[in-house]
Amino acid sequence: MKRHLRFLQAVLATLLLWCALPAFAAELPPLSLADAKSKQAVMLDTRASHFYQGWPMEGESQGGHVAGAESLSADWKYSNDEWPKALESKGLTADRPVALYGAPREVAEVARLLRKQGIKQLFELQGWQAAPREHLVRWQQLVYPGWLADLQEGKPVAAAPTGDWKLFEVDWGSPKAYLLSHIPGAGYIDTNRLEEEPLWNKVSDEALKTLLLENGIRHDTTVILYGRNTMAAARAAHLMMYAGVQDVRLLDGGLDAWFVQHLRTETGLPNKFEPVKEFGVAIPAHPEYYTTLDQAKALLKQPDSALVSVRTWDEFIGNTSGYSYIKPKGDIPGAKWGRGGVDANSMSDFHNPDGTMKPAGEILTMWDQWNIEPTQQAAFYCGTGWRASEAFFYAWLMDWKRISVYDGGWYEWSSDPKNPTVTGERQPAK
């Protein structure tokens, strides 16, 4: 309830602020796309991130963002401590011109915020609607609340499922929070049905198949997943893709994104879908998405590869294990740091302030610092698989070809004292 109240307060504050905004957008001098390029201006997309990622706005024939533009949505709220890092990630400096585009109020709000940060050379980009666009390769797999609500109501939507579709909330344990509030029509998947003790690796292929069939999921069913923590939904997404579900989608920003839009919720027991008898293809259809301990060790010896630790810096250097039930501290020698978040329950390094996926370019820049490249054979891991699954899904959205999750992660690796470990500060290899 407290989280819901905070979101309601934030939304109310935003509405009051926007109602009081002066017409800053009208004050911004216009700048053509050609002039923006000649001045080496930073182009800023002030719209919601799903439009930047690839979803078309109403009346548009194409989605995505102006080629080369950065994303800074008017909906985002940065703290004073967060602004310097945000400006740096988008190349914003006081001596560089900035060309903003979007709806007038969106442009006005971002212009106001940038002025407070000392960014003065502000322009309004002209002709952006007809400019060449870029987008996330698999933008259709990262859905947003308005799209899902329209789909539920039977309205025409872009990138609609071609056949049967089902919606699930994914979380650990019994559906206590689900009972109090969930997206209408959603089923419920307990991650205990996806992974098992002692190491929280995935269940057997037969057990995974049983879960899918019980929930009416075939290989050709469109499955839309969301979580109160997107990592849980990503864990399910990865294993469904491993099994062979062809069309798996995540609600970007999770359930919080739904709450912010004031969309309808329900209370009560999970929706039960009609079971199916056959999955339709042999499981696993994509064994290459899954990496074992022995395969992880072999990967470390391959020159064109990356074993990617999706953990906090403190976990990576051995200040903490990250988990109450994992005692050893440190990481795998030769692993590359793929970033994570503030703790083992966070993927904030990959998220915009509203919890949606950062632009692909920012994630690529982050990974490039540790020589993690799209052409490599990359296996992502964390403590037990949740964070790694989200990093895997984002890489897949960017169309990385050779990716997997090392399911055992640090828990499995550190449970055998014969496996080497490393602690302390270190830098990426040249």
DSSP state string for 221-288: -EEEEEESSHHHHHHHHHHHHHHT-SEEEEETTHHHHHHHTT---B-SSPP-PPP-S--SSPSPS-GG
Amino acid (1-letter code) at residue 400? W
User: Model confidence over 130-182: pLDDT tens digits?
Assistant: 999 999 999 999 999 999 999 999 999 999 999 999 999 999 999 999 999 99
Taking a C-beta distance cutoff of 8 angstroms, is the pair 200, 231 a contact? no
pLDDT of residue 406: 98
Which residue matches tokens 């904030």? 348
Pairing of the two strands 305-309 and 377-381: parallel
pLDDT of residue 3: 45
Beta bridge partners of 406: 291
Q: Among residues 311, 327, 289, which one has the least CA distance to residue 407?
A: 289
CA angle 148, 149, 153 (to 5 degrees): 115
pLDDT of residue 30: 97
Annotated catalytic residue within 122, 142, 208, 382: 382
Q: What is the mean pLDDT of each run of 10 residues along the chain (430 residues)?
A: 45 46 64 97 98 96 95 96 96 97 98 97 97 97 98 97 97 97 98 97 98 98 98 98 98 98 97 98 98 98 96 98 97 98 97 98 97 97 98 98 98 97 92
Tell me how far the alpha carbon of residue 426 is from its chain's centroid: 27
Taking a C-beta distance cutoff of 8 angstroms, is the pair 67, 134 a contact? yes
pTM recorded for the entire structure: 0.93
The region that residue 419 occupies, defined by phi over 0 for left and psi between -120 and 50 for alpha, beta otherwise, is: beta
Q: Answer yes or no: 19 catalytic.
A: no
